[in-house]
Amino acid sequence: MATIQIRGLVKRFGPVTAVDGLSFDVTPGTVTGFLGPNGAGKTTTLRILLGLVTADAGTATIGGRRYRDLPEPLHEVGAVLEAAGFHPGRTARAQLRVQALAAEADPSRIDDVLDLAGLAGAADRRIGGFSLGMRQRLGLATALLADPEVLILDEPANGLDPEGVRWLRGLLRGFAAEGGTVLVSSHLLAEVAQTVDSVVIVDRGRLVAAGPVAELTAGGAGLEDAFFQLTKEGTR
């Protein structure tokens, strides 16, 4: 199973330093929450990790290799970065057929992941008519299609109803229990507290804290209190 490793990552957009010397690890068999206020650099870090954004310095690897160097990336990493990233005129099934072709995944998996995501009844509907929650579910179905070892998810609970959030929690816990590596960014702290084993907290592009949730909350404070304390200290 693959470890995610971030070392000395730096990314600037003009005068703005979005990621500033960030380093952390995400180990297999765990669900790791990637937390931080808006603009903390979470999405930029995930996009660098996935080869979509070029870092100015540092490395971001999965199993010791950059994403672009993975021989079969979809079989190794499943990612959901934006729920809107589907062609509105394509059906959910057609979207998964494209993904299955790209990954050379067994096409019989399409019905499996549609069912897993609770979209079996909407498989032949155009994505343009989907709610945000349905798009999130389709994103997760797409990510799981090629049976990857690593899941990288950016705000996957956005738009999900309570039943969907519960489903997502079970999905991530089940994935990690099978030995998978999960990195999930979120700003829903109460939800994260119920789902993750470890957290990486960033603020203004810098690492604020990293480690098991149990350690972070050892003083009796909840994750939410610990988060606000840490990010408040970061702004001083």
Partner 1 sequence: MTELVFPIAAPGARRGGFARLVRMEILKLTSTRLGYALLAVVAGLTPVWTSIEASRAGRPNGPAPLFTTTGQTEIIAGGVWSMIIAIVLGVTISSGEFRHHTATNTYLAAPDRNRVLAAKAVVGAVGGAACGLAGYATALAVGLAFTASDGYRLVIGAGTLADWGIGRVVGAALLGAIGVVAGSLVRSQLAAVIGVFGWTLLLESLIGGLFGSARPYLPYTAATALAGTPLGSANFGPARGISGVAPLPFAAAVAYLAAIALVGALIAARTTVRRDVT
* x-or-dash string of contact with partner 1, 180-219, rule CB under 8 A: x---------------------------------------
Cα distances from 35 to residues 72, 151, 205, in angstroms, run 29, 16, 11
Q: How far apart are CA 2 and CA 53, in angstroms?
A: 21
Least distance to partner 1, CB of residue 215, Å? 28
State the Cα torsion 143-210-30-36 to the nearest 10°: -30
- The reply to whether 165 sits near partner 1 by the rule CB under 8 A is no
Among the listed ranges 28-36, 165-173, 186-194, 201-209, the one in contact with partner 1 (CB under 8 A) is: 165-173
Q: How far apart are CA 40 and CA 206, in angstroms?
A: 8
- The reply to whether 58 sits near partner 1 by the rule CB under 8 A is no
- Contact with partner 1 (CB under 8 A): which of 146, 150, 196, 226? 146
State the Cα torsion 107-109-111-112 to the nearest 10°: 170
Among the listed ranges 20-28, 113-121, 182-190, 205-213, the one in contact with partner 1 (CB under 8 A) is: 113-121
- The reply to whether 6 sits near partner 1 by the rule CB under 8 A is no
Under the rule (CB under 8 A), what is the footprint of partner 1?
Answer: 44, 47, 50-54, 67-68, 70-75, 77, 79, 81-82, 84-91, 94-95, 97-99, 101-106, 108-109, 112, 115-116, 118, 142, 144, 146-147, 167, 170-171, 174-175, 178, 180
